[in-house]
Structure 1
């Protein structure tokens, strides 16, 4: 599936594909998952989102451990319970960005225009200025490391024309990946009752992101990066501390609690661990680390 990259003056040349084409193609592709036209367009209506999959549990806790190579679930606890995904959402934002690059509609050196709306987003952010531009490579790194909300909106507006339009594309892509209980309303994961997912769906997304775009995996292992004269540290505190951990994404909003989708490799074997709804960041991190030890064995076998 493709969708239109909305060109701005002096940015990139306009493309033939349109967001309408994405929605039409997505509907055909998703008929096997019983996604209706109303469901596909429901990113603009909170009632429709609830009708699609229900309401998320406030700070609901979920856990899932997935064997990366074969996609087999090794452990799960409330893995299908509806949760607010918070910034785990940004894995899908990056998925669509990488897909657009792969289709030749953007390059890593393309410039994305920053709007007033993007600048207005609350932290975490990297402090972009309205009317400026940011390179795609810097935008991707800012999302992967700092989980920047301003950058997520920049990507959404440049690729989808609006955040609503991009959210519809995100939900359509989720359905095509088999994420049956996920609905997106924005590109960042900022609070919105329509923005819902599950630990199982987030594991599916994490595995798809790494397997489809392995060339971008190093973005998620960076512990610190610089932009605009400032240094930003990674939100994933397990990087460089827990042997074998080399990605993926953290998330937090008040109603969600502390989330982490982590990927780790030891002894030639890789797993994805999803923990959602932690009371504190340290508690979440400790649980993920313990699960990695349990399913990958002692840390001395870690591969760096």
Structure 2
């Protein structure tokens, strides 16, 4: 099946450092993410598990309104209850839209409230070209993201929830009422070192994929959006992955992204656990409010003070004798970041 898709957009990222190795000129363009949206739905589900908002064994009741969720579906029926773990498996592997809605309602009570949480999390992660309207990614006005933002989200998922990330590499799983197969099997089976992460397709979006693979300690992430067929998507991602492994240094220090710290936004309607991780402010005094005793005439300087003064004098003398060299490039001899535009075509 070929799609009348949006413009093609792509990013190649070194997961270890977060460096963008190559990207198309429109890598920050606002495009339809389709089911790449579910990476955010699952990020929040994992976060909720970590927060204790819900457990994997919590029984979630399906609502009648969810029957209108379009394919792909797990097949939930109105009034049915199902364990939260099965909703995660179905959303991650089959890309089930009804499961994504069930996750949203279980955590926030409604799709609109969950979308608010999605947008809060996107801001905290640094996704600057993203706005969510729903948890599944079906085309909706005002629901958009970019190849750059989806790459950032994929990297955040990998580092923040390693205990759950492995679900994206499973070829199939029991989802309670059905066995679900991974929509990303072609990449997982066909590319050496592949272990994730999420496909997406709608007629408006075309064929999207955020993919990740590791070889010999080098981990590469590729996001490709707007491909015209599933075959074109696979071939393009393989090409970009190969290029990423050629461009990335064999050794690089791992720089983990910071976990999101949540601050209220203009569209936030509340606070508490449902808003994300709880931020606890340190309000206890960390120093004594009583001043130290002033030196008195006749007091001898302490040994620590004398040693500190000697060390400071020695450092000044060394600086005068041998001034530091000016360093203008990264230690490796290559620029700390390079932007190479124009990956492929549409």
SS in 1 for 2:239: helix
CA distance in 2 between partners of 1:64 and 1:289 (Å): 13
Provide the TM-score with structure 2 as the length reference: 0.68
- 1:88 matched to 2:36? The reply is yes
- 1:116 matched to 2:64? The reply is yes
CA distance in 1 between partners of 2:139 and 2:65 (Å): 16
Residues 154-165 of structure 1: pairs in structure 2 closer than 5 A: 154-165=102-113
What does residue 217 of structure 2 align with? 268
Structure 1 residue 138: deviation in Å?
A: 1.0
SS in 2 for 1:126: coil
Match of 1:249 among 181, 198, 216: 198
What does residue 229 of structure 2 align with? 280
Confirm or deny: 8 A CA contact 1:267 1:296 kept in the other structure: no
Cα deviation digits, residues 236-257 of structure 1 (max 9, x gap)? 1211221111001000111110
- 1:99 matched to 2:47? The reply is yes
Confirm or deny: 8 A CA contact 2:86 2:174 kept in the other structure: no
Higher relative CO (Cα under 8 Å, sequence separation at least 6) belongs to: 2
Cα deviation digits, residues 175-233 of structure 1 (max 9, x gap)? 01000110000000011021011000000111111110010111100111233553332
Indicate the larger mover: 133-142 or 249-258: 133-142
Residues 31-42 of structure 1: pairs in structure 2 closer than 5 A: none
SS in 2 for 1:239: helix
Structure 1 residue 62: deviation in Å?
A: 0.4
- 1:293 matched to 2:246? The reply is no
CA distance in 2 between partners of 1:151 and 1:229 (Å): 12
Structure 1 residue 110: deviation in Å?
A: 1.1
What does residue 8 of structure 1 align with? none
Provide the TM-score with structure 1 as the length reference: 0.77
Structure 1 regions of 5+ residues with no counterpart?
Answer: 1-56, 298-304
Structure 1 residue 104: deviation in Å?
A: 1.0
229 and 182 in structure 1: CA distance in 2 versus 1, 3 angstrom threshold: closer
Confirm or deny: 8 A CA contact 1:88 1:189 kept in the other structure: yes
Structure 2 regions of 5+ residues with no counterpart?
Answer: 247-346
CA RMSD, Structure 1 to Structure 2 (Å): 1.7
227 and 176 in structure 1: CA distance in 2 versus 1, 3 angstrom threshold: closer
For the pair shown, which has the larger CA radius of gyration, 1 or 2?
2
Structure 1 residue 80: deviation in Å?
A: 0.8
CA distance in 1 between partners of 2:81 and 2:155 (Å): 31
Residues 150-189 of structure 1: pairs in structure 2 closer than 5 A: 150-189=98-137
229 and 118 in structure 1: CA distance in 2 versus 1, 3 angstrom threshold: closer
Structure 1 residue 108: deviation in Å?
A: 1.1
Cα deviation digits, residues 43-85 of structure 1 (max 9, x gap)? xxxxxxxxxxxxxx96121000111011000010021111011
What does residue 4 of structure 1 align with? none
CA distance in 1 between partners of 2:71 and 2:5 (Å): 21
What does residue 221 of structure 1 align with? 169
CA distance in 1 between partners of 2:245 and 2:192 (Å): 11
SS in 1 for 2:107: helix
